[in-house]
Structure 1
Amino acid sequence: MTKRRPGPGTRLRRAGARTAALLGAFAVAATLLLGASATAHADGDADKKQKLASEDAETQAALVADEDHRLNQVRAFTSVAPLQSTKWTVPFRLDTDNGYTLVLTERSNAYTIADLLKLAPQTFVRRKDGSYVLTENIYLNVGAKLKLSNPGGLTLRMASNRSGFVSIVSFGGELSLQGTAQAPLTITSWDPQANKADTDVGDGRAYIRTIGGQFEMTHTKLANLGFWSGRTGGLSLTGTDRPNTGSLEDTGQVHGKTARERADAQGNAQDDQNTSSGDITAMPSGALTTPDARFSTAGLSYVSGSITHSTITGNAFGIFISSATGIEISDTTVENSLEDGVVLHRFVSSSLVQRTVAKDNGGDGFILSRATQQVRISGSTAEGNGGNGYTLSGKPLADGPSASGQTVDSYGSNSVANSVAKDNGRYGVEVLGGFDVGVQNNRIEGGDMGIVARLAADKVSITGNRLTGQNRQGISVRDGVTGATVTGNIIDGPETGVYVRDSAAEIRGNTVQDASNHGVSLVGGVSGTTVSFNVIGGVGPSALDSSRSHGGADIKENQTFAWYDTSSFWVKVKHYASPMTLLWTGILLLILFSAVMGRRRRRANGRGTGIVHPYSDKAPLPAPPPDEIAVAGRRREPVMSE
């Protein structure tokens, strides 16, 4: 049984003891290159998320750190070495702690399958069934191009087992995975000993990653790749905010003693003008041949690319993208991922996801994390995922001074439109903070809640959606949301149709059918909220529940004739017992009480109990005779005396 990969110190000592014989090199490569893998199958839980023991988690985290260290070593060497000798401007191989890495350097034409067969005849091998097995890491340096395609179709199996794993990493290059509709490209992790795909993430697993540069994938099937982190999650497109030359302790020791000794043995020693004594190298004054990488301040590098007509199955993270602009994902299916399906992480902007399906993933189907903006999801489907169907987060990266110094501004201008969320474990769509977020014309079926907007989101537009079969609330607007618009939605069968808590929203023109508790429920401070022109039907305590709210919501012109009120007598009394109602009720009772008491007094005085005119015992005063007033020269007229 193959042992688990040894620690870095042990691997370094073993690397120093390797012979240069081809047979020995091939044996070491076949053993070391199969590195860490991830359990691509679920443990049987409904959410299909694998539960990791603490020791497995520590192992995988350490493997990610090892990969970061290896890539830093390779990046450092490839950035500085070409400045010292022209021999490093053509493809070469590095022997690092984690095995061999074939470095493809910049040239005008793209590297192809034929080139890989020549450059790595022992670690890139064609099998009898026509597939290719890769047992060596491949690294595309800045400007290098690699095109994996074959007219008759191509199957690439990346070695991955308990002994190790391989990766294809492009750093500022162009990586192209191209199949056709009739002959797709297939890439999978592969355990050579078991002769099957690697489905165990506990010891790492093969992965593909693009750091900066460009990426293109079409008519491709990826399966069972990646482990633990987003950047090693299977297929990741990430930018970089680190200096391209890496972090070097001493530029004069870029190669290390062993590398210089191998170069001397091959007759490629450094120029005689440099004199060395131990670890110190003397060089003439003037321009530096090798810049000091400690103080390099390379700018940010963003990645761009497209993924179309492809299928991704069983990855740790289906697709992971960060620090990218202009990404397009279309006509693609991402399924059975151990974690989330499509993850657009930090600083992704101006990107489009359309006609893409994320189903049966352990976490969320689609995630737009913090610091993503101007991302549009259209015509897509999220079904059967363990978490949300769609998560759109626009929260700021910091809420004040922080160690990272990030901005406190929110992010936004993201939208989900004309899409479907069906039978996801949590919510259909969840909006977390941000501004100018649109959730429009979607169909949402099942789930605990349909659409949830919370955490101080601003200007959220929830319009024209059809929601059916939610367990609790069809639409929920809560926890400090402002400027929300909930209009033209059809909500069928939830416990509560629209729920607003401590937020301000316009609830207008919605149709709620077959609700079992409340049609519209207002809780907490709802100042600035309007509930109007809604049609509400169902059976429950109340169609419009505002008894637990304060702030003076404007409720008007709603149609509740199709609502059957099942509340108890005292609940109804509490509902209708407003101050004005109590005042007028008291006045009416006082009048009735006075009338009753008057009848009792008349009956006690023997005047009967019939109705008597209140002034029947009164008589009008007699009219006095008229007096005449004499006026000189005029006719006398009778007048009434005072």
Structure 2
Amino acid sequence: MKPTRTGLTGLAAVLLGTASLALAAPAAADPQGAMDAGTTAESAEQQAALVAGEDRRLTQVRAVTAVAPTRGIGWAKPYRLDTGDGYTLVLTQQREPYTVTDLLKLAPQTFVRQADGSYLLTENIYLNSGAKLRLSNPGGLTLRMASTTNGFVSIVSFGGGLTVEGTPQAPTKITSWDVRTGLPDTRVDDGRAYIRAIGGQFAMSYAQVSDLGFWSGRTAGVSLTGTDRPNTGDVDGPTHLTKTQRHEAKAERLATDAAADAAPGAGDVFAQPSGNLAAPDTRFDVPGLSYVSGKIDHASISGNAFGLFVSSANGITISDTTIARSLQDGLVLHRFASSADIQRVVSIDNGGDGIVLSRAAQQVRVSASTAQGNGGNGFTVNGLPLATGASASGEFVGSYGNNSVTNSVARYNAHYGIEVIGGLNIAVQNNTVVGSDMGIVAREGADSVAINGNQVSDQRRQGIAVRDGVTNALITGNVVSDADNGIYVRSSVAEVRGNTVEGATNHGIALVDATGGSKVSYNVVAGVGPSALDHSRARGDVDIDQNTISAWHDTSSFWVRFRHYASPMTMLWVAIVLLIIGSAVLGVRRRRPGIHHPYANTVPLRAPAPAEELVGSAA
């Protein structure tokens, strides 16, 4: 937490005072109130200020840990920093990972075993570069991270190795904890406990994490972030000390013991006074960190601000994990997350999107995953450039891509099932999309998008929509049912081939605006509506060939059909044909007023009749 008193005796007093408040606290928190508090302008400003405060604290701690090795060998041990508004336990590099047993020794007043067997953490933990912490315990570990209106704690690894590990029978459980209510902290307006790995390695398996984080991605709950600077790769154990160094270390320990009255401590943890920081020794360089890497499997994450946030990461694998009820998005792979493999991840009932691939995330494969009941999209794949021209940060202006969403399910999400925004070489294949506003949408100039073999059903508007400058889209082998428009192409170039559209209620396949170069062929279209193939609004040459529309019931009126077929060219040819026929008929009538023998002019003249015939005729 962030007590305002200095020294361990002051910390103990704060803890006792907090425990006393718990007796008078209400029995339950108000989750709805927490949600409302997190959306007001005042709360937004407060949370943003808390994030900035956390950034400053981590910068301070990093500066001290960078200088510490120049102060003597004694700083090779864990030590505690007073950062003005709280304490941070700094774990330094050693050969073996720190464990729960080590924390009990290093922080006996701030890492305390509770009567129910859980552990309560009431100060920040910071893993220095190369340090390793393993949060695990035989029989299962329950870690409660203090989080109240007075402050919150965090576990941050800066270039170290953080492992959260349980077993199928006894998972490790981590949650925020309000000691006044005896419940997890559900409010975010005053900040909330979180876990973060900055560079280094992170691993989590058979773990249950809940109700962590607030406001930003880096304080999201569980966040894996890194830098884009080269990594030395040194996260191994410490180097062996020489005999002279061992003597210097002993002298440092003796000096530290002599100063115990001025700087209270506990065990091997030493408290340092707050104040101005010593100027760094220019001979010592602050270590540069690489992208974070890690593996997460068989985990459950619920109630976080963002369920799981990953940025500047390389080679992350996430599998067999459930993310639920996040206040914002579920799983976010943010900028410069690359070569990630997401398998069998279930992201449900989150306030935003289920799974998000943000701009500058590339070579990410999402497969066999489910996004259901989310407030935004099921899956979002954003490959837009970080900048469109010269920028202050000098960002790359090209698109990002080589991402895929395959063999996955998007079900009953409030916005779209799967949305592709810009980017290049995107694959959306063999997915099942059910019950959203639109099923699969590609837009904003995406290039080379393959939408193949998907089952799309029960969409309020379009089943598959490609619009707003998409090029080289290939839409093949999809089955689209029960949508207002089955397949919709607008101001884009696409090949729509071999799809089945059934149960459409407006248009089966529609091409609108500049769609020149598109091709629609070998599709089977069934439904009831004004048209099976609507291309009357298309501009440019469109090739429409070998489509089967015999099962389509046309409900348009006579004049609608007339306008549909009465194109200017059609009307011109009709007029020409009618003019020719009319002219022919009039010409025949002028030449032949009556009916005559066709060979009258060639009939030979008849001989005069005999006299007796004439007499008989007269009688």
* TM-score, normalised by the number of residues in structure 1: 0.82
Q: Distance in 1 between matches of 2:76 and 2:327?
A: 40
State the match for 1:235 in structure 2.
Answer: 222
**Contact 2:38-2:44 within 8 A present in 1 as well:** no
Where does structure 1 lack aligned partners over 5 or more consecutive residues?
6-10, 245-260, 270-277, 282-287, 623-642
Give the drift of 1:142: 0.4
Q: Is residue 493 of structure 1 aligned with residue 476 of structure 2?
A: no
Q: Distance in 2 between matches of 1:279 and 1:440?
A: 58
State the match for 1:131 in structure 2.
Answer: 118
Tell me the SS of whatever aligns to 1:356.
Answer: strand
Matching residue's letter, 1:581 = T
5 Å-filtered alignment, 1:562-601, equals 562-594=551-583, 597=586
Q: Distance in 2 between matches of 1:279 and 1:390?
A: 48
Choose which of 526, 531, 546 in structure 1 pairs with 2:535.
546
Choose which of 244, 269, 292 in structure 2 pairs with 1:303.
292
Tell me the SS of whatever aligns to 2:103.
Answer: helix
Q: Distance in 2 between matches of 1:41 and 1:347?
A: 34
Q: Is residue 537 of structure 1 aligned with residue 523 of structure 2?
A: no
Choose which of 425, 440, 451 in structure 2 pairs with 1:436.
425
State the match for 2:267 in structure 1.
Answer: none
State the match for 1:619 in structure 2.
Answer: 601
**Contact 2:38-2:188 within 8 A present in 1 as well:** no
Q: Distance in 2 between matches of 1:402 and 1:151?
A: 52
Cα separation, partners in 2 of 1:40 and 1:324, compared to 1, 3 Å? farther
Cα separation, partners in 2 of 1:158 and 1:506, compared to 1, 3 Å? same
State the match for 1:55 in structure 2.
Answer: 42
Q: Distance in 2 between matches of 1:464 and 1:120?
A: 57
Give the drift of 1:186: 0.4
Give the drift of 1:401: 0.5
Q: Distance in 1 between matches of 2:230 and 2:315?
A: 23
Q: Is residue 23 of structure 1 aligned with residue 9 of structure 2?
A: yes
Matching residue's letter, 1:499 = Y
State the match for 1:290 in structure 2.
Answer: 281
Tell me the SS of whatever aligns to 1:196.
Answer: coil
**Contact 1:336-1:362 within 8 A present in 2 as well:** yes
Cα separation, partners in 2 of 1:411 and 1:30, compared to 1, 3 Å? farther
5 Å-filtered alignment, 1:117-156, equals 117-156=104-143
Matching residue's letter, 1:520 = I
Give the drift of 1:80: 0.8
Cα separation, partners in 2 of 1:67 and 1:173, compared to 1, 3 Å? same
Q: Distance in 2 between matches of 1:82 and 1:543?
A: 74
**Contact 1:70-1:97 within 8 A present in 2 as well:** no
Q: Is residue 83 of structure 1 aligned with residue 70 of structure 2?
A: yes
Cα separation, partners in 2 of 1:280 and 1:210, compared to 1, 3 Å? closer
Cα separation, partners in 2 of 1:588 and 1:241, compared to 1, 3 Å? closer
**Number of aligned positions between the proteins:** 562
State the match for 2:374 in structure 1.
Answer: 385
Choose which of 56, 66, 84 in structure 1 pairs with 2:53.
66
Tell me the SS of whatever aligns to 2:550.
Answer: strand
Moved over 2 A (4+): 22-25, 27-34, 39-44, 48-51, 240-244, 261-269, 278-281, 296-300, 578-581, 587-603, 615-622
Question: For residues 505-559 of structure 1, what are the alpha-carbon distances to aligned partners after superposition, in whole Å with 9 as ceiling and x for unaligned?
Answer: 1100000001001111101111211000000000111111111111111111100
State the match for 1:199 in structure 2.
Answer: 186
Q: Distance in 1 between matches of 2:430 and 2:504?
A: 21
State the match for 1:211 in structure 2.
Answer: 198
Where does structure 2 lack aligned partners over 5 or more consecutive residues?
22-28, 232-254, 264-274, 605-619
**Contact 1:441-1:466 within 8 A present in 2 as well:** yes
Q: CA RMSD in A?
A: 3.0
State the match for 1:461 in structure 2.
Answer: 450
- Choose 585-594 or 188-197, whichever is displaced more: 585-594
**Contact 1:32-1:98 within 8 A present in 2 as well:** no
Question: For residues 188-207 of structure 1, what are the alpha-carbon distances to aligned partners after superposition, in whole Å with 9 as ceiling and x for unaligned?
Answer: 00000111110011100000
**Contact 2:18-2:179 within 8 A present in 1 as well:** no
Cα separation, partners in 2 of 1:68 and 1:30, compared to 1, 3 Å? farther
* TM-score, normalised by the number of residues in structure 2: 0.85
State the match for 1:334 in structure 2.
Answer: 323
Give the drift of 1:240: 2.5
**Contact 1:32-1:164 within 8 A present in 2 as well:** no
**Contact 1:40-1:314 within 8 A present in 2 as well:** no
Q: Distance in 2 between matches of 1:392 and 1:485?
A: 17
